[in-house]
Amino acid sequence: MAAMKFLSGSNASKCVLFAVMLALAAVELFALQWLKPVENQVLDSFVRQQSARLVPDPEIVIVNIDDASLASMEDVAGNWPWPREVHGDLLRGMLRQKPKAIVFDFTFSERDVYRPDSDRRFNAALAGNTNIYFPLVRLPAEMDQAGDRADEIAPLLGMTRSARAKPEARVALQPPKAVDAAYWRTGSINFSKDDDGTGRRYDLYLDAYGWLIPSLPARVAAGLGYAIPPGPDMLLAWRGGQQGHIRIPYAALYQDFDREHPRRLANELTGKIVIIGADASTMNDLRSTPLSSLYPGVQILATAIDNLKNQRFMRMPPPWAVPLGALAVMLLLLFAFVRGYNLVEEVGAPLALLTLVLLGATWWGISRLMLLPAISATILVWAYYFAGALQSYLAERKSRLAAVQMFSRFVNPHVVKELMNTGGALPRQGESRDISVLFSDIRGFTTLSENRTPQEVVQLLNRYFTLQVEVVFRHGGSLDKFIGDCIMAFWGAPLDDPLHAQNAVRAALEMAEVLQRFKAELGRQDADFDVGIGIHSGPAVVGLIGSEQRREYTAIGDTVNLASRIEGLTKGVARILVSEQTMKLCGSAFRFTPYGAFEVKGREQKVNLFGPDRGEGT
| Average pLDDT score over the chain | 91
Q: What is the pLDDT of residue 409?
A: 59
Please, how many CA atoms are within 13 Å of residue 369, restricted to the half-sphere of its CB? 12
pTM for the full model?
A: 0.72
Provide the β-strand partners of residue 294: none
CATH class of the structural domain 423-613: alpha beta
pLDDT over 80 (residue 450): no
Express each pLDDT in 431-440 by its tens digit.
899 999 999 9
Q: What is the pLDDT of residue 613?
A: 85
Asked if the peptide bond before residue 229 counts as cis, ω within 30 degrees of 0, the response is no
Express each pLDDT in 518-555 by its tens digit.
888 877 767 678 899 999 999 999 987 877 667 778 89
Amino acid at 61: V
| Average of per-residue pLDDT across 469-477 | 92
Q: What is the pLDDT of residue 523?
A: 73
Express each pLDDT in 570-605 by its tens digit.
998 999 999 999 999 999 999 999 999 999 988 889
| Average of per-residue pLDDT across 547-571 | 88
Asked if the peptide bond before residue 296 counts as cis, ω within 30 degrees of 0, the response is no
* pLDDT interval class at 411 (50, 70, 90): low
Q: Residue 271 and residue 343: Cα distance in Å, rounded?
A: 62
| Average of per-residue pLDDT across 183-202 | 96
pLDDT over 60 (residue 377): yes
pLDDT over 70 (residue 415): no
The DSSP string of 358-409 is HHHHHHHHHHTTB----HHHHHHHHHHHHHHHHHHHHHHHHHHHHHHHHHTT
Return the domain boundaries, the chain: 2-32+317-402, 58-310, 423-613
* pLDDT interval class at 5 (50, 70, 90): very low
* pLDDT interval class at 3 (50, 70, 90): very low
Residue 499 phi/psi, 5° resolution?
-105, 30
Backbone dihedral region for residue 587 (phi beyond 0: left; psi -120 to 50: alpha; all else: beta):
left
Name which of 147, 240, 135, 229 is nearest 191 in CA terms.
135
Please, how many CA atoms are within 13 Å of residue 155, restricted to the half-sphere of its CB? 3
* pLDDT interval class at 457 (50, 70, 90): confident
b/e map of 239-253 (b: 16 or more CB within 10 Å)?
bbbeebbbbbbbbbb
CB 247, CB 34: distance < 8 Å: no
Q: What is the pLDDT of residue 102?
A: 98
Provide the strand spans (E) within 105-154. 132-138, 148-149
Q: State the Rg of the chain over Cα.
A: 46
* Helix residue spans in 261-320 (DSSP H): 297-310
| Average of per-residue pLDDT across 228-251 | 95
Q: What is the pLDDT of residue 618?
A: 38
Q: How many CB atoms lie within 10 A of CB 3?
A: 7
Provide the β-strand partners of residue 598: 607
* pLDDT interval class at 119 (50, 70, 90): very high
